[in-house]
Amino acid sequence: MAAVVGVLALQGSYNEHMAALRRIGAKGVEVRKPEQLLAVDSLIIPGGESTTMAKLANYDNLFPALREFVGTGKPVWGTCAGLIFLANKAVGQKTGGQELVGGLDCTVHRNFFGSQLQSFETELSVPMLAEKEGGSNTCRGVFIRAPAILEVGQDVEVLADCPVPAGRPSITITSGEGVEDQVYSKDRVIVAVRQGNILATAFHPELTSDSRWHQLFLDMDKESQAKALAALSLSASSNNAEVGSKNKAPDLPIFE
């Protein structure tokens, strides 16, 4: 049975993700209510205006269901604003901040690359994408008022980075009480990562004709289903062995 990919359809580029899924023959469904998450095998959280998306998600009480979905181990992909949603920590937010789904062990800066006027496109080196899906070692990255990942945990695989734009104002990373704040001083910044069942990109693959990111996500879904089937098979074998041992005739005593 073909996997069903949910696309969170509150605001932003969900139509473009749906179109990209259709191009590769995948079934996508729009998700707006918590109960709809029960009918999908994986989930894409699209780009958009993250604060607006958070308000709409709160209105429909989606955050508990989204966190539960991420915790199940089913594949989840966040693009741009979706990356912000999935991060465990976000800086550079508006006053009062916004609620996050979490699950991705990283610190993200909400508007690292600046305002809408600083939006840009560039070629990104992504050898893993070519290794798994074929084609070129590079892909087109469309950055629209984009975030970036400042720090990642040890279990997070970095898939792509890009140069920090010249003249970028300094960014301070708040480390917490009793720990000195740090100024981000690197000349490159992370824009794509994977951690287990979570994929995240600061750019918009759905706005290009390159379908390899969506295919990669479908492959993650297949991996997830294969693991689930293996776990069920192991559980069934264990149960059968237990039943067999209970039904085994008792050994007769040996007299010498």
Q: Binding site: residue ranges?
A: 48-50, 110, 144-145
Estimate to the nearest angstrom the gap between the alpha carbon of 70 and the chain centroid: 9
Helix, strand or coil, per DSSP, at residue 185: coil
Cα–Cα dist 139/208, whole Å: 9
Q: In whole angstroms, what is the distance from residue 2 CA to residue 192 CA?
A: 27
Buried b (16+ CB within 10 A) or exposed e, 87-97: bebbbbbeeee
Query: What phi, psi does 123 have (nearest 5°)?
Result: -85, 130
CA contacts within 13 A on the Cβ side of 113: 27
Annotated binding site for L-glutamine: 48-50, 110, 144-145
206: annotated active-site residue: yes
- CA 149 to CA 188: how far, in whole Å? 10
- Please say if 157 is a catalytic residue: no
17 is catalytic: no
Secondary structure (3-state) at 68:
helix
Q: Which one is catalytic: 16, 106, 139, 204?
A: 204
Query: Which one of the listed residues 80, 106, 139, 162 is annotated catalytic?
Result: 80
Active site residues: 80, 204, 206
